[in-house]
């Protein structure tokens, strides 16, 4: 189960599992957003290399326009995937704030 | 636990259901579950991508033993593809030189403790283990 929707003002909300079966859906949605600015990952449970590929293509487009994607509320597990692929160097990533 | 899945990315939802049933009731941390799911997805997707015309199902077998999770994927109608070969991915490269190709197997090699590939009589068998006592992903 994967959902992607716009929350306005360039913010895109991702939820569920962004795997290889869902990558096309994500890419088509993001391609339809003129200037995506922030990806809210609060409810994103999982991402694989197929999902990273979607974000990479989108980041290239957005940076070509002078912008840049920011990922917010990223879980530790997903952050690990970004870190080990080196994607933490090409996105601004903000983790979920520590509770308590 | 063992189950066969049709050769399609659409099978991923069923595969994640299968791994969830495997993990249910076992004392395995979420970070290990995530890693095992990711590695299975990358290997399965690779089998689908590079042998889309194969007719048979792809079998996934999971075991919890010796302080780790061992997973075996078998494709009886495959072409040779050694997933253990090093992947030419530079995680330090700037954005303009980044490509998504090869990234999946690069991550696989980061997230497992052992990875074996065997090809015999048309059957590809990939076996990986993820140890459950490690603190972090392998560098």
- Residues B40-74 pLDDT 10s: 999 999 999 888 777 789 999 999 988 999 999 99
Q: Alpha carbon A97 to chain centroid distance?
A: 17
Angle at B125 between CA B18 and CA B73, to 5 degrees: 5
Q: What is the pLDDT of residue B135?
A: 64
Mean confidence (pLDDT) of chain A: 93
CB–CB contact A86 B111 (8 Å): no
- Name, in order, each residue with C-beta under 8 angstroms of A88's C-beta and a sequence gap of 6 or more: A79, A82
Helices (H), chain A: 23-31, 49-64, 76-85
Read off the pLDDT band of B137 (50, 70, 90).
low
CB–CB contact B137 A84 (8 Å): yes
CB nearest to A20's CB, from B9, B37, B137: B9
User: How far does B104 lie from chain A, in Å, by closest CA?
Assistant: 5
CB–CB contact B104 A50 (8 Å): yes
Q: Is the pLDDT of residue A100 over 60?
A: no
Q: How many CB atoms lie within 10 A of CB B28?
A: 17
Q: Is the pLDDT of residue A45 over 70?
A: yes
Read off the pLDDT band of B100 (50, 70, 90).
confident
DSSP H/E element including B123? strand B123-131
Angle at A15 between CA A9 and CA A16, to 5 degrees: 165
- A86 CB neighbours in chain B (<8 A) are 90-93
Strand order in the sheet with B68-75: B2-5, B58-65, B68-75, B123-131, B114-120
pTM: 0.94
CB nearest to A85's CB, from B12, B95, B103: B103
Q: Which position has the higher pLDDT, B118 or A8?
A: B118
Q: What is the pLDDT of residue A33?
A: 94
Helix, strand, coil shares of chain A, percent, nearest 5, are: 40, 35, 30
Arithmetic mean of pLDDT, A42-66? 95
- A89 CB neighbours in chain B (<8 A) are 91-92
DSSP H/E element including B103? helix B103-111
CB nearest to B16's CB, from A17, A57, A90: A17
Read off the tokens for B19. 């791994």
Characterize A19-52 residue by residue with b for buried, 16 or more Cβ atoms within 10 angstroms of its Cβ, and e for exposed. Answer: bbbbbeebbebbeebeebebbbbeebbbbbbbbb
β-bridge mates for residue B70, sequence order: B63, B129
Q: Is the pLDDT of residue B130 over 80?
A: yes
Q: Is the pLDDT of residue B38 over 90?
A: yes
User: How far does A6 lie from chain B, in Å, by closest CA?
Assistant: 24
ipTM: 0.92
């Amino acid at each position: 189960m994967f959902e992607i929707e716009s929350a306005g003002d360039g913010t895109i909300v991702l939820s569920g599992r962004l795997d290889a079966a869902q990558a096309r859906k994500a890419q088509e949605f993001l391609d339809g957003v003129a200037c995506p600015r922030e990806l809210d990952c609060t409810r994103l449970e999982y991402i694989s290399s197929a999902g990273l590929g979607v974000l990479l293509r989108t980041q290239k487009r957005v940076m070509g326009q002078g912008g840049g994607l920011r990922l917010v509320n990223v879980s530790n597990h997903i952050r690990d995937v970004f870190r080990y692929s080196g994607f933490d160097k090409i996105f601004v990533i903000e983790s979920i704030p520590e509770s308590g | 636990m063992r189950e066969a899945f049709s050769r399609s990315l659409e099978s991923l939802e069923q595969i994640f259901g299968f791994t969830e049933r495997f993990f249910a009731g076992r004392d395995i941390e979420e970070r290990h579950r995530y890693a095992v799911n990711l590695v299975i997805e990358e290997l399965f997707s690779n089998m689908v991508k590079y042998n889309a015309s194969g007719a048979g199902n792809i079998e996934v077998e999971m075991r919890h033993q010796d302080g780790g999770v061992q997973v075996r994927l078998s494709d009886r109608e495959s072409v040779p593809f050694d997933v253990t070969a090093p992947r030419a991915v530079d995680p330090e490269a700037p954005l303009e030189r980044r490509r998504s190709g090869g990234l999946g197997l690069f991550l696989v090699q980061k997230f497992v403790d052992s990875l074996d590939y065997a090809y015999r009589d048309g059957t590809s068998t990939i076996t990986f283990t993820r140890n459950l006592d490690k603190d972090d992903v392998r560098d």
